[in-house]
Amino acid sequence: MLTSLYIKNYALIDELNVSFNNGLTIITGETGAGKSILLGGLSLVLGKRADLSQVKNAKDKCIIEANFDLANYNLKSLFNDLDLDYDVQTIIRREILPSGKSRAFINDTPVNLESLISLSKHLIDIHSQHQTQQLTQDDYQFKVIDALANNQSHLDSFSKSLNVYKSLQKALENLKLSKAELIKEYDYNLFLSKELNEINLENVNLEELEAQYEELNNVEIIGEKISSSKSILTAESLGVSDQIISVRQELSKIENFGKSYQALKERIISVGIEIDDILIELDNLEENLSSDPQELERINHQLQIINNLFQKHSVSTIEKLLVIKIDLKSKIDNTESLDEAILLKEEEILKANKKLNQLALTITKNRKKVIPIFVSKLETILALLGMPNAKFKVELESRDTFVSNGKDNLQFLFMANKGSSFNELKKSASGGELSRIMLAIKSILAEYIQLPSIMFDEIDTGVSGEISNKMGDIMKQMSSHMQVFAITHLPQIAAKGVSHFKVFKTDIKDITHTQLKKLNEEERIVEIAQMLGGLSITDSAMAHAKQLLN
């Protein structure tokens, strides 16, 4: 429950520090006195978006701090889920800095707005005037029925499974798109791959192949040059070989005259040996040299194919062609394996679909089970609120497709008077009727949802007299097991409170300030008397006020 609220430098509030008790707390004040400011400050600390224009003095920091007693509400696991330190006396603080930046803290730990809102949903339900219209919306109607049906855990499972299901469907769609694209390229990729496979690239040595081609293509020139080289080396008298022998003989005659002459002779001997080896090599080459037009043609054809592949794939090496070959094989394999992948994905989708249908069926069964109970309770409370002939019908129909909360269509139908027909709630209920219906629903929900506090902001709009008295009784009954706040203009409801606060404005040095004061017994009598008869309090108004309070 909310135990205290501190507001500083917000709207028309300089500084406000107020403590609250359990039970039914009443907040009253003239129109425009600042009740909405108080509600806005509380909404801000619970996660509403901050706005620098809400700050009273833009040069100073705005602070709003709320203390909650959580001893009896089993919220420790929620704190663990949000990675927050749990404290029975939890403090939530919100600050708006002069720069316009806002900060939030839970038990002095900085938090983002998402975490703050997640926690706030479990602390207090603020029912503002415009929220009565939510009653006519599908989302809120589902929320009511599912709360009574205790469907939250099933809805959480359904939501997670639905996300998985949608992801699988998206993946299947992508696979099919990929298959369509790959099929367009499949034949061409297969043709390119076949071209590369035929050349047997792994066993091609391009340098060696080019050398073989040059040799075969120039065999006549090579033979001619080998022959002339041999002639130069071996020609009688003029041949290099004979000349080397002559030089060696001449050097032999002077080798004993010095080491340098001996060294020259040894070198010329080495040259002679090298010349002999060259002659042997030339003989071998000449002997093995042969003209093979067919082999030349084969090698030429192979080189042409390789050069064409280089040009087609814009590369210049065999290694790069091999990379392209591997990539083409991968694309071909992917295309051929997509059918299997699509089949597996479709099987996954069938399993996910089956799981979703099972969860949706459980959710629907739970809803159907509680609808008669809900309608009975609602009609009973509405009879107490001056609508004895009001009848409710909740229609639940299955749909073919999944939605975020199952497979149902839900509709609240209402009939206010005998002899009329059921119609949609938004078309058949007046503003005053909607207010009473909303209060009745909130009182029913209070039995099923363990919520520490609820605040009604003029939920009594459009009602008066004995009906407002009954509305006050319902709020008081709700306050027996939760903390209830009621912002009201009706004295009948104001008199039901355990505590009573008044919001009012004062002018200090030509500046308007909003203040909040807890009324004592005498002040409550005066306040309720003014609510009954205006500022000019009569004896009858005072007597009536005392009667209401008693």
CB atoms < 10 A from the CB of 518, how many?
A: 15
Token duo for residue 264: 């020259």
Each residue's pLDDT tens digit, 267-285 = 988 888 888 898 888 888 8
CB atoms < 10 A from the CB of 474, how many?
A: 21
Q: Indicate if the pLDDT at residue 253 is higher than 90.
A: no
Residue with tokens 């696991």: 77
Q: Give pLDDT, residue 497.
A: 94
Q: Indicate if the pLDDT at residue 237 is higher than 70.
A: no
Token duo for residue 199: 């050349």
Q: Indicate if the pLDDT at residue 445 is higher than 80.
A: yes
Q: Give pLDDT, residue 433.
A: 86
- Residue 50 and residue 527 in contact, taking contact as beta carbons nearer than 8 Å: no
Residue with tokens 């037009």: 293
Report the Cα 246 to chain-centroid distance in Å.
97
Reduced to 3 states (helix: H, G, I; strand: E, B; else coil), residue 490 is: coil
**Alpha helices for 385-424 (secondary structure H):** none
Q: Indicate if the pLDDT at residue 231 is higher than 90.
A: no
Q: Indicate if the pLDDT at residue 245 is higher than 70.
A: yes
- Which superfamily does CATH assign the domain made up of 1-123+451-519 to? P-loop containing nucleotide triphosphate hydrolases (3.40.50.300)
Residue with tokens 């699988």: 168
- Residue 451 and residue 472 in contact, taking contact as beta carbons nearer than 8 Å: no
Question: Which sign does the torsion angle of CA 208, 212, 215, 217 carry?
Answer: negative
Give the residue extent of every domain in the chain.
1-123+451-519, 178-337
Highest mean pLDDT among 338-347, 390-399, 510-519: 390-399
Highest mean pLDDT among 119-123, 192-196, 206-210, 295-299: 119-123
- Name every residue whose Cβ is closer than 8 Å to that of residue 540 and which is 6 or more positions away in sequence: 533
375 falls in which pLDDT band (50, 70, 90)?
A: very high
- Name every residue whose Cβ is closer than 8 Å to that of residue 3 and which is 6 or more positions away in sequence: 19, 20, 67, 68, 69, 89
Distance from C-alpha of 369 to C-alpha of 358, rounded to nearest angstrom: 17
Provide the b/e sequence for 260-288 (b: ≥16 CB within 10 Å). Answer: eeeebbeebeeebeebeeebeebeeeeee
- 157, exposed or middle or buried, with CB in 10 Å at 0-12, 13-18, 19+? middle
370 falls in which pLDDT band (50, 70, 90)?
A: very high
Question: Which letter does DSSP use for residue 51 in this model?
Answer: -
Bridge partners (DSSP) listed for residue 483: 453
Report the Cα 143 to chain-centroid distance in Å.
23
Q: Give pLDDT, residue 362.
A: 96
The closest alpha carbon to 537, from 550, 517, 523, belongs to 523
Average pLDDT over residues 102-119: 92
Percent of the chain topping pLDDT 70:
98
- Residue 436 and residue 426 in contact, taking contact as beta carbons nearer than 8 Å: no
Residue 415: phi, psi to the nearest 5? -135, 115
- Name every residue whose Cβ is closer than 8 Å to that of residue 434 and which is 6 or more positions away in sequence: 132, 133, 135, 136, 425, 462
Question: Which letter does DSSP use for residue 417 in this model?
Answer: S
Average pLDDT over residues 162-184: 88
Token duo for residue 262: 């001996």
Question: Which letter does DSSP use for residue 55 in this model?
Answer: B
Percent of the chain topping pLDDT 90:
42
Distance from C-alpha of 109 to C-alpha of 341, rounded to nearest angstrom: 48
Lowest mean pLDDT among 174-178, 228-232, 344-348, 507-511: 228-232
Distance from C-alpha of 338 to C-alpha of 349, rounded to nearest angstrom: 16
The closest alpha carbon to 69, from 414, 482, 485, belongs to 482
Q: How many residues does the chain have?
A: 550
Q: Indicate if the pLDDT at residue 186 is higher than 70.
A: no
Average pLDDT over residues 240-248: 81
pTM of the model: 0.68
Each residue's pLDDT tens digit, 477-492 = 999 888 999 999 999 9
- Residue 324 and residue 311 in contact, taking contact as beta carbons nearer than 8 Å: no
Distance from C-alpha of 473 to C-alpha of 385, rounded to nearest angstrom: 10
347 falls in which pLDDT band (50, 70, 90)?
A: very high
345 falls in which pLDDT band (50, 70, 90)?
A: very high
Q: Indicate if the pLDDT at residue 215 is higher than 90.
A: no
